[in-house]
Structure 1
């Protein structure tokens, strides 16, 4: 196993095909900063090709309490006030850089698992949403709290939220910023599974092992089929399935590509 911890408060560990990313600012419930987002982006660029599963977790009693308000309300270049003073293009570019810290978790070659305990608020909720699968401890609480600051969710969470629970419920969740407890999250489709707190890490590792037991090529094709299904018609999805199966058959039985 290899690993490292950055001064930004993110720990990276790799054990063969499984990488674990841990937010490690437990004294502030893993509240997120732009420095953490930069480090998450760095991790995405240093993953080796043999990594197939990424587990995202938070150290301590919460997954992440969201944006660190001491930074957001401060006077530095990372503050919300400073962003507001930039041109529209510059502000959007800065936000795009922050989004990259989250959106790489949707990479087609990876299956990503969020192991969530305690609070996952705002940016914490969106970090979990960018993962393919979410294992929740029974004390987990989701909240899309950006609206309480007069802001919108902007870290890649709204599309996945809508796909998982539908547009009407997603709108209600984003407009109210209310807390969603673990059992409700499971009932409405936000949670893959809910376990006791002392079982969370084991459940995440067991899920990673189950994913690794599947053929890598089939895993990538299945993820692509599922992730693209909501944007396709039935006819288009049927075509995508047969094209994917054709690729799998040719890969499995070593068929030489057609030559013109």
Structure 2
């Protein structure tokens, strides 16, 4: 196990399993997202992306109360319009990095995921929620709107009508409703981080290049019409056959043994 400590986050690597655990570590502030934390996330993502053995990233929050209760209002209160736009650009850039990361990213949401916390969870590939998790975009209650991509990612997950209602009211969405409307992947009874680790281990057993290309196909294709999306999928399918993992995976299947994927 390799551990890297930052001021506001903690990054752990289980090198044998190929799983990284990234923890937002401001529990006294309910893991609120300030500029320093966002920049640390960007640095941590560089670290994950540079590790050949990294296959899955789990993102969670320290403590039982919150995944992340939002952006740091104390930091934002005195922003000028230009400063606010710069802060939004930082958050959007960092969250888009989670989407672009060539490994599967699982959000293990414990407690509050509000405002920026909800936006951060939505930038992950899979969202596992504890039964006590609470989601929402309450920015209108502060006289602002989501700035880290919430109005766009929420719409893509739950549709325009439901996104409007959630954003216009600023209300909270409990875990069972979040599952019903498609905001989360699964509601977990018990330890959500342990559930995420089990899921991560399952994903990590598969060909890492294939998982990365599958992620690209889904994410890129979501913004395309069907015909160009199918063309993009064909191209990525072809790229699989330039990898050692494709040869190993198919050979292992025909030889009735477990594959030994290397990510090449």
> TM-score range with shorter-chain normalisation?
0.7 to 0.9
Q: Distance in 2 between matches of 1:235 and 1:133?
A: 26
Report whether the alignment pairs 1:234 with 2:233.
no
Q: 1:19 to 1:83 in 2, by over 3 A?
A: farther
Write the distance in 2 (CA, Å) between the matches of 1:231 and 1:242: 16
Alignment of 1:167-182 (within 5 A): 167-182=160-175
- Look up the match of 2:257: none
- CA shift, 1:49, in A, is 2.9
Among 59, 72, 85, which residue is 1:68 paired with?
72
- State the shift of 1:176 in Å: 1.1
2:201 corresponds, among 209, 217, 238, to 209
What is the aligned partner in structure 1 of residue 88 from structure 2?
Answer: 95
1:125-175 per-residue CA deviation (whole Å, 9 max, x = no partner) reads 111111111000001000101111111111133322111111111111111
Q: Measure how far apart 1:108 and its partner are.
A: 4.3
CA deviations on 1:87-141 (whole Å, 9 max, x unpaired) are x4x6533432233332211124121111011111101111111111100000100
Taking only aligned residues, the RMSD between alpha carbons, in angstroms, comes to: 1.9
Equivalent in the alignment of 2:183: 190
Specify the SS of the correspondent of 2:68.
coil
Q: Are positions 1:53 and 2:52 aligned together?
A: no
C-alpha distance in structure 1 between counterparts of 2:235 and 2:30, whole Å? 45
> What is the CA–CA distance in structure 2 between the aligned matches of 1:143 and 1:130, rounded to whole Å?
14
Q: 2:114 aligns with which of 107, 118, 121?
A: 121
CA contact (8 A) 1:108 1:224 kept: no
Structure 1: stretches of 5+ with no match in the other structure:
73-78, 255-260
TM-score computed with the length of structure 2 as normaliser? 0.84
Is 2:77 the counterpart of 1:80? Answer: yes
Which secondary structure does the structure 2 equivalent of 1:3 belong to?
strand
Q: Bigger shift: 204-213 or 240-249? A: 240-249
8 Å contact 2:138–2:167 — kept in the other structure? yes
**What is the distance in 2 between the residues matched to 1:176 and 1:133?**
26
Query: TM-score, length-normalised on structure 1?
Result: 0.86
